[in-house]
Structure 1
Amino acid sequence: MSKTQTSLSFSDMALPSAVLEQLNAMGFETPTPIQQQSIPALLEGNDVLGEAQTGTGKTAAFGLPALAKIDPSLKQTQVLVVTPTRELAIQVAEALEGFSKQMRGVGVATVYGGAAFGPQVKALKQGTSIVVGTPGRLIDLLNKNVLQLDGLKVAVLDEADEMLNMGFIEDIETILKGVPETAQRALFSATMPNAIRKLAKTFLNKPLNIQIEAVAREKATIKQKAWKVQGMTKMTALTRLLEVTPYQRALIFVRTRQDTMDVAELLQRSGFKASPLSGDLNQAQREQTVSQLRSGHIEILVATDVVARGLDVPEITHVINYDLPSDTESYVHRIGRTGRAGRSGEAILFFRAKERHLLRHYERLTNAPVEFFEVPNANQLSQHRQQQLLEKLQASMQADNAHADSDKLKKLLGQWLESDELSAEDLALALLTEQHKQRPLFLKEDRPVREMRNDRPGRNERGDKRKPRAERGGRAADIDFDTYKIQVGKEHGARPGDIVGAIANEASMDSKYIGQIQLFDNHSLVQLPKGMPKDVMHVLKKARVRQQPMGLELSDEQVKRAPRPPRDRDARGPKRRQAGKGAARRFN
């Protein structure tokens, strides 16, 4: 284990000038311990076996020296980074794109399963310098001879222990066998089980072993609260929470740069002082945005993990995890943006049923409980607005006595009342009506966009066994549908299941409220309930299927029901039994 160089800065390292300039623009000053040790070792040509917790800066630890090895004039894959999950692949790719922003000719391609091959193949054929991907998709591309590793200079395995836990060890071995002997190799992992050490011994050449001791965590003083996404969209829940929560400054974490702009735009439309903090901003714009947050011109920032790195604004009282992070360590870094300078803070999580298990990891990591809560319903929000207005009027009455024009206003009011055209009640009701037009005091009852269900498979809300499917019905009855057109079709690799999944997840809509779907080459038609809320429509317009924006819009076309294939009565029974067993394996 090498000795920590606490005084080393990025400028002391032999990094390309374009990279150093970009680091300075991004506000990177002091390397983390894993960066202080790994970057010089990799720049010197050593293979590295790094052991450090997630969230300690490993992406820059291998990414910065990898950029130094790239020759932009060569249109071929020169750096390969393998990650266990799609979310981490996207996060690493975004970080590398940021670091290489001032390096002309250096591109980053992200490849992972569940997305169409077409765009990924196109990016690789153009000769992108860096490829970040998941094991399964990388092997598919290797087998198709689309991904060429002949010119590879650096190969990195990130979060190796997670790949082991997910059963990718054989895939990793297959990928590493295709890496040229001349290529530099680096393996990073939070833990070092025997299987990972064996892998390193087999594929790394006399690696420098770098270990960063885990930082002991004190019990968190930040209150953590979680809401299960159900009954309304996440966007509706977010606006309601912000309306009833007495925050000073709030930081909202989302998954992608596009999400920062979409969520910030919707908040601005709802009257909130919100702004995105994305990787598209240069350093001057970033500093201006943070300065506006401190001064109060902006009260809410919507950001990704990468750009919020190092953000230190003591006035941030609330951190909202609109999207959960790809790893538990990033969660700790997120909530650490609040409760600073001895102040109290609150961290709020939006989670779906399949993400519930992550809450236990957060509790263990922070040594503090996560409490469950409910977002205010329409009636509760109406009462809150009414109370807020009453308190505002009472405060205004007390302040009016000292107002310079208070005597004139009282005289004007007396003249109106003496005219016999308006009573005091009529006048008060008219003013209250105007206020109601601007900000409704009585909200319409919530219209569920997703059916409430118990998380346990095979049980309904009361804990009873589910009724047979024939009694439950596949699609909700008595629904009037409109036909919508989306800009995703067969040429994008889309399937009906992809469309249903995207709509159900993004709009928190039960699939039974999604009607017929018809696929065409460049677009598709889908039936959705009449009277879709505007915020849901906006979310679905930006949602993606196979990495393609849906661009949802009403259509005059009609969905044609696909003809059913003829039934084979002799095979009907066995097929149904087999399908039932398959469903049990998938959902239980």
Structure 2
Amino acid sequence: MSTFEELGLQENLLKSVGELGFTQPTPIQEKAIPVLLSGTKDLIGLAQTGTGKTAAFGLPLLQLIESKEKYPQALIICPTRELCMQIVNEIELFKKHMPGIHVVAVYGGSSISMQIRDIRRGVHIIVATPGRLIDLIERKAINLEQIKYVVLDEADEMLNMGFQEDIEFILQNTPQRDSTWLFSATMPPEIRKVSKKYMQTPVEITVGKMNTANKNVDHQYFVTSASHRYEALKRLIDFNPGMYAIVFTRTKADAQEIAEKLTREGYDIDALHGDLTQAQRNKVMDEFREKTLQLLIATDVAARGIDVQGITHVINFELPDDVEVYTHRSGRTGRAGKTGVCMSIVHTRETGRIRQIERMVQVPFHKLEIPSGKDVCRKQFFYFMDKLLQTDISHGDYETYLPMLQEKFADVSKDEVLKRVAALEFDRFLKYYENSEDLNTRERRDDRSRTAPEGRGERLGDKRRDTRGREFSGGGNSTRLFINLGTKDGFYKASFLQFILDMSDLSKDVLGRIDMKEMNSWIEIDKQVANKMIESIDGKKYKGRRLRMNEADSVRR
């Protein structure tokens, strides 16, 4: 493996890298930095999140910038405010010994007048989210005519979020760029189209296999009944004291409900979903980064672009439908060379789905038992005792109080003191778990033989399963809805499912098969809530276009 010195970085950057404790470049850094330092080559870098992509493009950018020229020379576009701030913070660290270079973050939810003021003071690198950048372009508050380098970071995320037209508009407004650098975890067809249209024979670098999961993550799953998911979640949290985790749900209603229930029961947790204002979102993320919150419960859409260091666990309250989504979720932990754990709570009919994901992400999944109540109490007990033994008592004047303590406990044995300490700390746990039930549901041998063939539903008693293996009480109680959204709008099945559930605030359990075409989609849904979904979506706008949703009987496919 090369060293940073061998990659061609100049001395002031090497000094910053050394002070940050970086000893050797990651694979994406080793392959990308020498190419990017030429300054005139387009590049596509494919690597999972957490592999050091910011340094891979940030260090070459800083070396290529002409600090004496006081105009924007580089533009970094990313999907979310959180990632925008993360990139700026890292570049500020890299340029510690290059004080003449100025970086500005441009994103929504913050004062646009202050951002305009910062740009007019003189800036070399702009890090921006697409929406706010276009706002500044249309106000003529920013001039991108002299931009030499454009970086598209988390390009697949931006396209999944519907930013394709915005990205193309921005690229059209940077006509003098010498090179475009595109970094992504996956390579969907939309990214390939953008690269062909706006890049000249790009150098393509792939680190690891696409859609494979991080090998530093232990992938675990726990089988229980659907009605016991919440109790299983609580038990997994309690069995892992000290965890710092993101819990993923499919809908914002689930995220809010679970967060409220856990908060009432004393957990340090909050929810992140699409109903939050930017101020509320900022508050939640700040508290999570500062570890005031132990747990963050989030939907996939709301969590996009979150880059928080030190996350020990990711918990899938329910499996996502799309393998790419699973890869993105699990990639939030096990970063920067550290290990992590990704847990999935599934019911028996989803074990076939686990096998499918396992094959596609090319890592083994481990089936574990949901801990018993006694196991949880034992784990919490020893965790507390370890904390007690490791408590630093060197900074307090405890000697002053020692005679009083000795007098107070003169007639109490050591064993009794320990029991009382344990009772103070664990009374709640012991009472809650003393008669707790076994949450494990045994997998039946015939589960896989009952899995529906690809592309068809299957009757199981009075229930049917859709093409993704979910239970759905269809038959005569279901209807099909038409909507004028399809794959051409930048959706894949998981993001489309998330979109319609967030819009309607319905549970995924009311949905059956989803049939997506290029221009339109058909949704199987429980008749009782079909009108609610239509009322929530029909007539609304998506990217300036009026949405049309109605019962599919009158629509020719």
TM-score, normalised via structure 2 length: 0.49
Question: Per chain length, whose mean CA-contact separation is higher, i.e. which structure has more relative contact order (CA < 8 Å, sep 6+)?
Answer: 2
TM-score, normalised via structure 1 length: 0.46
Look at both structures and tell me which one has the larger radius of gyration over its CA atoms. Answer: 1
